[in-house]
Every structure is written in C-alpha cells, then in structure tokens.
Structure 1
C-alpha cells in the first residue's frame, strides 16, 4: 500500500508496521492492571465524600449485564439468559448501591451525563426501565431541560415499537446501536443475525423522536470478512447517515473469552486484510464527511464530539471519548468502574460478588487506586495528546506548577525517534502530532506511561492497530 493522506491524518504502512505494538487504550491512566485490592470499600466511600468539595457535576453509569443471546465476539461482562426475572434482584442491589452513594454525595450536584450500558440495557422490561430512572431521580439531581447527555446502548433486535418513545420520555437523548456488520454470512458466524431494516428503522424512529448524536458500532476482523464485504457494509452504513461511528478492531482471545471459542480462527481475515479494511474504511468515512476523532471514532463536523475536540474540551474515560471532562464518574452495577477525583474504583465482576457486598451494606469495591501527583500529571498529558493530538508544555507547566522540559526530560528524549520518523514535531516544549502519528497516538502516549517498562505491562494489551 502506498502512503495515503486522509486529510487530518496519514496512512504510512512502514510506520504502522514499526510502531504497531501492544499498548493500552488509555480509557484511564494508570490503566486497570495497576488497580489494587488494597483500595477497598472504605477508600471509595472516602473519595465520594471528598469529591463534594469540588462541586463538580456528575456522570452516572449503570451496567446492565443481561443479554438474551450471546454474540460470539463479545468480551463484555454479561449474562446470557432468557429468564427476565433475574433482573429484579439485580436492580434492587443497584438501588441499594445508589443509597450508599447518596449518603456521601451532595445531592444538589447536577447529573450532566448518564449512560446505561451492558449487556443489553433494553433487556429490562419497560416497567423496570421506568423504575430504574425513577429511582435514580429520587437520589440524584437529574436534568429536566434535555441539555445533559443521557445515552443508552441499543440492540435493535431487542426493542419493541414503543421502546424508543419510552426511552425518550424517560429523558434519554443519545443512543448507540450495535451493528458490527451487515453481511449475512458474517452475522451468522458471530450469532448476531440483524437485517439492515431492523437497524435502519430504529435509527429513523430515533431521529423522528428527537434523539441526537446517534452512534453505530462496527467491528472489523470478524470471521468471513474481506475488504470487499466490509466496504459494502460501510456503504450501507453511510447511507443510514449516523452522527457518529465507532469502528472497532476485533481481538480474538478465546482463552480469555469463552464465547469466542465458537469462532474458527481459520475463518478470520489475515492481519494484512485487517489493515486493508481499516485503511479503506478510514479513507471512505473521511471522504463521506466524517471527522476522524481518534482511535476508533468518527463524527460529523457539527456533532458535539467534533466541536468539543476543535474547542479543546474533549476528554477520555472508561466510556471512551466524552465532552464532559469536569464530571465525577460514578458507576453502578457489576464490574463498573468509577473515576472520582484522584481515584478509580471497580466493582466485583460477577453479579454474585457484587450483590453480596451490597446486601451487607457496603460498596462492592473489588479493587481501585488513589493516584499520586505523578500519576495525575501523566494522566493530564496523555489525555491531552489522545484527545487533541498536541500539548503546549509551557502552558501545561504553568497550570501544574512544574518545569515541563525537566520533569519529562526522559520522555522528550524518547520521543526523538517518533519525531525523526515524522509522527510528531517538537517546537520547544510544544508537541504536535503529525497526520502520520494520529493513527499511532497510543504509541506516543505510551512514552509517558511510567508503568509499562517498569512491569512489562505492554503484554497485557492488544496491538495498537
């Protein structure tokens, strides 16, 4: 493949081959392998209470782990079941967890962002959805002006004609639809048969109801995909005209995720084919008018995410790219991760462990971390680079009270090769990621990660591309 310029980034196969190593996605820094069980329920409780001093608005996340069917590619924390009665006791624990949170928080802090994820949140009955939102409103200051970002993940196969109107009534104004691929052979191989009409009808209904920033998720690297078949899927997706698109790389890890054992390795596209799919997909989306936000994400120029990136307000957390950098993220449900001030706290992964702790009247914190001052500085640098592709070290130094050039002297020296290869340019303490470096931004961020070389944690992550 020849070098290709995609407007705001550049495809350079030689550099991709050289820098395509394993590395974190930086939804947090330090990353999850650094979390420790020395951080427990009492520590999270103290972090919540301390956060009131900032009066920061809140972001709430609810993990609904239930699915009607297993998608073979899935690596999420989920429970496949046809027994909808299992939701009731789980929701009771979620309400109790909210009570525990409410005891520590100033209830006047507004909820500027709310998200239901999973699993499949629409596995809940309509009455349970109403109840969950009502119980949330009893404990937190939900916005009633439709100006917050209230979003939910949707499986178009698991909704009724009146589901989307209900969600709009409950206050949701954003949605993410799982699609993955529209090719029937690929869908059958991953146990997710979802005709285009299902997705398209749901998308049109959502637009008519006034939902904004509708996102579609795609996955490349699935069985039986070829550059040609995925290009055909992409053309159909572009016709559907979503506001945002996520194009994720499938990581085949059957030793970690049992459902993936149903996928035959010989049916997967080769690494070379995956790179062609990615290259052609990015080129096509940019040609279609989407802005390359970074990592796997694309948005229309007038979408709030693209606007936030242009204005320097974008942030990255466990939910990916977000426009709400000022919020404390409080997450509820099994496996969910909170980010409150200088701390991270993760709940028990399994529902049994989660529910047991909550029944005993304590937070279900399995592990977490209180960040050091060095962690906070590096987190700020990495967030700036991965969201905005540049950092003004002098302005950063003034804001944080350090000498940027001396504090990060080793890192700046390590970036000399990146600079020589054209991934970035350095003007004093001002680092600017070049178009060729945007696709490899994780490699640049890894230079500022104090833990990778120290403990060899790069082996715990998937490849950058």
Structure 2
C-alpha cells in the first residue's frame, strides 16, 4: 500500500518533540536568501538558457486588491474602496507581460496560468477580459483540455455571472478561501461567506463545467473550537470540493499589522490546535481525500494525486502543484518568477512597481541565482517533501555524486528521526514513513544548507511552526 493512501499515524509526543519553526519550502533556497544585488542582466541570461531548453511556461498574475481586510491575512494586499485603482495596475501588468513576451520564444506553450492576490475578482468583468485577451495575444496558451488556468476567489464577494464570464475567458479551475463557516469566527477575523452562498456558488461552478474546485480552510483562528470545526468540516465535505488546503494560522502581528486586530486571548491553545488538526485530517481521509502532504488534500482522481503518483509533483509559491516541467513567469507587484536556475521577485511596493514600468524597465527588486549545490539540495528537498522518498541512484545519475558520502553529515543528523521511526536510510535511499509525514518540513530542514550556517546578529529569520 502506498504511504499516501494510508491513514496518517498520529503521535503527540513526536509532534511536540519535532514541532520547531521552519520554512515551508515553496522554494529552495527560500525567499530570505534573495539578494537586492540581483541584476536584470542575470535575468536575461536565464531567459536565454530557458529558451534554449524549450520548456513549457507557467504564468502567474498577482492582483493585490481586496474589498475588505481579513485580519489574519499575511499576503501582499491593498484594501481599497476605490475600484478605479485597478485599471492602471492592469495596464502595467500587460506592459510587464509584453516585455517578457519580447524575450521568450513565442513557440513555447503556456500550460498553466494563475491569478492570485489579494482578490482577483476585485477587478471588473471588462478588466478581466482586457487582461486575458492581452495574455492570449502575447503568449500561446494551451487549450481547455490541456491547460490548467485557475483563479483565487472570495466566495462571499463574487457572483455566478462573473464566474461564468471567467469560464468564457478560459479559466477552468477555481480556488476559494472559505476559512470557516462559524459566524463568530468570521466576525473575529472580518471574513464573511455563508454556507448558502458557497453552496449556491458551487452549484453554479459545476453547471459551468469548471474542471476543479479547491477550498482553503484555516485552523487556529480566534474562537475556533473542536466542536465548531466539526460543523465546518461537515459542511465542506458536503460541498464536495476536488481539493482542500488546511492551513495553520500563524499569529505574527510583529510582521503583519492586520493581525494586531486579533485578540491573543481568543486564539486556541497549541494543544487545541493539534486536536483540531488531528480531527480534520482523520475526517478528510475518512471522506475519501488523499493527504498529499503538509496542508494539501485531493480526491483520488485529481491531477494533484496523479502527479504525485507519477513523481511529477512540485512545490512552488502556490504550494503543491502540477506541471513540474514549466518555467514560471510572474507579473505584478511582489510576484516571484522561477526561470531556469534563478528566482526573481518584483518590487513589493505598488508605486515602486509602477515607476519602474513607467521607465520601460522590468520591475524586479531582488533575486537569487542557484549554484550547483543549491540545485542539488533543491532536488533533494523537493523529492522528500513531494514524494516522501529520495532515491540515491536517481540522485547519483542526475548530479554525479555518491549520495551516502556526500550527505554523510546530514544522514548523521537524521539518526534521532531514524530511531523514532520517522525515516529509514539504506543503500537505496531515504524513505519517510507514515509517522514522519506530518513532520516532513523538519526532515527537509536537515538538507537546508542555509539553516546550517551561523546567523549574523539582526539577520535572524522568524518562521512559523511546522504544525
């Protein structure tokens, strides 16, 4: 039986022992390693290598605007009542996309496209058409049967008519942030969507033939209890989404000012959060969902499950994702591209982003070039976090190393985890057992070279807890 089809093995003692703070590994190296000294020339060289490789493309658009402030949110967003702010921003994104279109080989196909935010449906239907038509003019998009074109939505603030418009534009997947159905919790975080609204929306999405619907749900929010979570999960399962993401709320008001509006006294304790997570995982598995890893679940027939089975799953800035073979072009403020062996992030500040484009420049602010060691360790971490295994023969063939010798120090660090039954190391490779699945980030941290380096005073990076 595959480890992914087994019910998760829960051990509170092990969780408490290994539940440290650590990266989520949506990239390796992680974003704190990005450097402001990164140049546009480095990006252009990476694009040249990317064109030579002729990999397919993925496009990401960051639309940061929201109608209202969700207190828990740590995203780069702009809460605005003035809808007129969006059109100048869309024109800048089209301008940025046009700059990239001039640099990339126009024979390369876009297999994946995603609008994130913020709340992309903040913009009007006409603005959606403008942006999507420009994208099709500048890049060669796959057809509906082959392309994965998704959008994030707030189910309490989008109409069925708008979703029909988006389907006509070519979107075939939806990710909606439900978060919680309890009215008390919704009031505590200023995020509202009723079960009736979401249910009506789901019926509309199915009638409009969206291929996949994903729902986000957050545990650890103020006033959440095990009893309230049971009610919310029952409703979510009744809604029958294709995928689910179960995110841990990380309360870090020192980083995110909006979280100061959440009362510490109303947050569930660490023990209560563990009980909620345990119940949620058991409930979703019993309902037939496959636990992909970390915070992702999917139905057995979903493409995410098939990608994992085919060892084509990846971690990127949207979490677990298909289309591992794509180079990612990201446009919009704060968005991060992943092209050949580089990461490059746009300016986070909206004015700085727009000013660079007004000068005819790509709006990049910082980036990172992966050396051979980084690419080796990215391969290791992606294999472990996506597939719970690292095959030494595959690693040796790809990087011409003797894995047991090369990673002797890291394997030695795994000794306590081996003793606790989290992992096994033998001549064939490393295997993460069922008991270690919840702690996969901790396993990956052993291979993170940057975590092993001494931290200079003032440069300490504060990560969220693993669980």
TM-score, normalised to structure 2, is 0.97
Q: Is the 8 A contact 1:63 1:117 kept in 2?
A: yes
Structure 1 residues 289-324: Cα deviation after superposition (integer angstroms, max 9, x where no partner): 100000100001011101111121111111111111
Shift in CA distance, 208/458, structure 1 to aligned 2, threshold 3 Å: farther
Structure 1 residues 100-119: Cα deviation after superposition (integer angstroms, max 9, x where no partner): 11121001100000000000
| Cα distance in 2, alignment partners of residues 286 and 298 from structure 1 | 9
| Cα distance in 1, alignment partners of residues 209 and 66 from structure 2 | 27
Q: Which residue of 2 aligns with 1:111?
A: 110
* 1:139 matches 2:141: no
State the secondary structure of the residue aligned to 2:75.
coil
| Cα distance in 2, alignment partners of residues 404 and 304 from structure 1 | 31
| Cα distance in 2, alignment partners of residues 145 and 78 from structure 1 | 30
Q: Which residue of 1 aligns with 2:413?
A: 414
Q: 2:464 aligns with which of 438, 442, 462?
A: 462
Structure 1 residues 157-186: Cα deviation after superposition (integer angstroms, max 9, x where no partner): 222231111111111111001110000000
Shift in CA distance, 306/388, structure 1 to aligned 2, threshold 3 Å: same
* 1:52 matches 2:54: no
Q: Which residue of 2 aligns with 1:353?
A: 352
| Cα distance in 2, alignment partners of residues 41 and 235 from structure 1 | 50
Compute the displacement of 1:50 (Å).
2.4
Q: Which residue of 2 aligns with 1:209?
A: 208
Structure 1 residues 405-432: Cα deviation after superposition (integer angstroms, max 9, x where no partner): 1111111111111111100112214111
* 1:392 matches 2:398: no
| Cα distance in 1, alignment partners of residues 198 and 460 from structure 2 | 37
Q: Which residue of 1 aligns with 2:368?
A: 369
Q: Which residue of 1 aligns with 2:239?
A: 240
Q: Which residue of 2 aligns with 1:293?
A: 292
Structure 1 residues 230-265: Cα deviation after superposition (integer angstroms, max 9, x where no partner): 111001101111110001000111111111111111
| Cα distance in 1, alignment partners of residues 276 and 349 from structure 2 | 35
State the secondary structure of the residue aligned to 1:9.
coil
Q: Which residue of 2 aligns with 1:313?
A: 312
Q: Which residue of 1 aligns with 2:99?
A: 100
Once the two structures are superposed, the pairs formed by residues 243-258 of structure 1 within 5 Å of their partners are 243-258=242-257
Q: Which residue of 2 aligns with 1:331?
A: 330
Q: Is the 8 A contact 2:390 2:431 kept in 1?
A: yes
| Cα distance in 2, alignment partners of residues 181 and 6 from structure 1 | 27
| Cα distance in 1, alignment partners of residues 170 and 454 from structure 2 | 45
Shift in CA distance, 231/159, structure 1 to aligned 2, threshold 3 Å: same
| Cα distance in 1, alignment partners of residues 87 and 441 from structure 2 | 41
**Runs of 5+ in structure 2 lacking a partner?**
none
Q: Which residue of 1 aligns with 2:167?
A: 168
| Cα distance in 1, alignment partners of residues 185 and 5 from structure 2 | 28
Shift in CA distance, 9/251, structure 1 to aligned 2, threshold 3 Å: same
| Cα distance in 1, alignment partners of residues 7 and 228 from structure 2 | 26
Q: Is the 8 A contact 1:334 1:347 kept in 2?
A: yes
Q: Is the 8 A contact 1:181 1:218 kept in 2?
A: yes
Q: Is the 8 A contact 2:5 2:291 kept in 1?
A: no
| Cα distance in 1, alignment partners of residues 8 and 160 from structure 2 | 41
Shift in CA distance, 370/94, structure 1 to aligned 2, threshold 3 Å: same
State the secondary structure of the residue aligned to 1:439.
helix
RMSD: 1.3
Moved over 4 A (4+): 456-459
State the secondary structure of the residue aligned to 1:302.
coil
Comparing 214-223 with 253-262, which one deviates more in the overlay? 253-262
Q: Which residue of 2 aligns with 1:20?
A: 19
Q: Which residue of 1 aligns with 2:403?
A: 404
Q: Is the 8 A contact 1:108 1:141 kept in 2?
A: yes
* 1:259 matches 2:249: no
Q: Is the 8 A contact 1:151 1:174 kept in 2?
A: yes
Comparing 210-219 with 372-381, which one deviates more in the overlay? 210-219
Compute the displacement of 1:208 (Å).
1.4
Q: Which residue of 2 aligns with 1:42?
A: 41
| Cα distance in 1, alignment partners of residues 428 and 373 from structure 2 | 18
| Cα distance in 2, alignment partners of residues 9 and 395 from structure 1 | 27
Q: Which residue of 2 aligns with 1:227?
A: 226
Compute the displacement of 1:271 (Å).
0.7
State the secondary structure of the residue aligned to 2:143.
coil
| Cα distance in 2, alignment partners of residues 458 and 424 from structure 1 | 29
Compute the displacement of 1:144 (Å).
2.6
Compute the displacement of 1:8 (Å).
4.2
Q: Which residue of 2 aligns with 1:379?
A: 378
Compute the displacement of 1:368 (Å).
0.5
Q: Is the 8 A contact 1:404 1:429 kept in 2?
A: no
Compute the displacement of 1:71 (Å).
0.5
TM-score, normalised to structure 1, is 0.97
**Runs of 5+ in structure 1 lacking a partner?**
none
Q: Is the 8 A contact 1:6 1:283 kept in 2?
A: no
| Cα distance in 2, alignment partners of residues 102 and 342 from structure 1 | 19
